[in-house]
């Protein structure tokens, strides 16, 4: 969907693959899901920030505990978006973190 905005998008199927591709390429932002196999999104965010401290990270989740506002934003995550979401919400989140970095 972001290709319509003329953005280069690289989709991966695992946290290990995400870590590997980030070693080879530079990205303006990483968008990841909280619920992933093997390594959850918040753990991947921490691993990415350890390697690339300035990397903006947007995490998407349907986990109600993460979205109810009672828990703090997960460590290393810049913006949290709840599922389902509209494309404009993702675009706005991207604009915030890319401009901030």
Q: What is the CATH number of the domain that holds 35?
A: 3.40.50.2300
Average pLDDT score over residue span 3-12: 73
The C-alpha atoms of residue 52 and residue 25 are separated, in whole angstroms, by 12
**pLDDT tens by residue, 44-93:** 999 999 999 999 999 998 876 666 666 677 889 999 998 889 989 998 99
**pLDDT tens by residue, 19-33:** 999 999 988 899 999
The C-alpha atoms of residue 69 and residue 73 are separated, in whole angstroms, by 8
How many structural domains is the chain composed of?
1
User: What pTM, to 2 d.p., does this model score?
Assistant: 0.85
Residue numbers of the domain that contains 42: 2-100
**Strand order through the sheet with 30-33:** 30-33, 57-61, 79-82
């Amino acid at each position: 969907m972001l290709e319509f905005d003329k953005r280069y998008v690289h989709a991966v199927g695992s946290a290990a693959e995400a870590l590997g591709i980030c070693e080879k390429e530079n990205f303006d932002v990483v968008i990841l899901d909280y619920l992933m196999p093997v390594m959850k999104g918040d753990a991947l965010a921490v691993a990415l920030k350890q390697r690339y401290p300035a990397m903006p990270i947007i995490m998407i989740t349907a986990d109600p505990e993460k979205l109810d506002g009672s828990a703090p934003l997960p460590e290393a995550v810049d913006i949290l978006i709840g599922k389902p979401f509209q494309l404009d919400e993702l675009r706005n989140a991207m604009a915030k973190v890319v401009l901030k970095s």
